Amino acid sequence: MRRPAMIMTSSGASLHRLRGPIAACCLAMLLAACGTSPGGVSSASGSGGASRVPAVRQPTRTSPRDPKFLNLPGLEGVIGASQKQLVRQFGSPRLDVWEGDARKLQFTGTACVLDIYLYPTSSSREPVATYLDARRASDGQDVDRAACVAALRQP
């Protein structure tokens, strides 16, 4: 009767000896998974091979979709204006960011920060202002858009 107990102990000892190598293999697989990008290309370039950068698709410009225009009192002359018209009203923008064929201009002053979003339309050759956000520079809290426009307009 003792013999089966010894075999069980012997098997348990064999399994105990394999825990270390099994754990090492699992750790190696986990680390190998961390070293690759989602596309399967290794993120490490220490082997001398050039890493591949996925190609960025440029937006195709067939015919622009007409965006919705923000229509609030006090925004006349801003909504529907081009970049040049906005610069005449507010001066040089602090930021001028392009994202595809859309554009964001940011104007700042002591009163507020004004972000104006310009999108192409089917009737304009260049993007025009369709939407804007206004916030306090100190804490980022929303402020009245028309009041911000009035405060930042140059005389």
- Over residues 92-106, the pLDDT tens digits come to 999 999 998 899 999
pLDDT for residue 145: 94
Residue with tokens 């529907």: 80
Domain count across the chain: 1
Domain contains 137: yes
pLDDT in tens, 20-76: 777 776 666 666 665 554 544 444 444 455 556 555 555 555 555 677 777 888 888
- Domain encompassing residue 107: 83-152
| 92 within a domain of the structure (yes/no) | yes
Domain-embedded: residue 75: no
Residue 75 near residue 146 (C-beta atoms within 8 A): yes
One-letter amino acid at 76 equals E
Domain-embedded: residue 1: no
Q: How far apart are CA 137 and CA 133, in angstroms?
A: 12
The answer as to whether 142 is a domain residue is yes
Q: Please tell me the distance from the alpha carbon of residue 114 to that of residue 139, in angstroms, as a whole number.
A: 14
- Domain contains 103: yes
Residue 143 located in a structural domain: yes
Query: Does residue 127 fall inside a structural domain?
Result: yes
What is the pLDDT confidence band of residue 91, given thresholds at 50, 70 and 90? very high
